[in-house]
Amino acid sequence: MAAILIIEDDEKFRELLQLMLGRLGYTVHCAVNGVDALYQASHYKPDLIILDLMMPWASGDAVLGFIRSTDELKHTPVLVVSAHPNGAQIARQLEADGFLAKPVDFRVFRECVQQLVPI
- Reported as a single tens digit per residue, the pLDDT across 62-115 is 888 899 999 999 999 999 999 999 999 989 998 899 999 999 999 999 999 999
pTM of the model: 0.94
Q: What is the CATH number of the domain that holds 52?
A: 3.40.50.2300
Residue pair 79/70 in contact by the 8 Å Cβ criterion:
no
Instruction: Please choose, from the candidates 101, 97, 69, 105, the residue with its C-alpha nearest in 3D space to the C-alpha of residue 86.
Output: 101
Domain of residue 108 covers 3-116
Element (H, E) at 14: helix 11-24
Name the domain count of the chain. 1
Is pLDDT above 90 for 35?
no
Is pLDDT above 90 for 34?
no
Is pLDDT above 80 for 57?
no
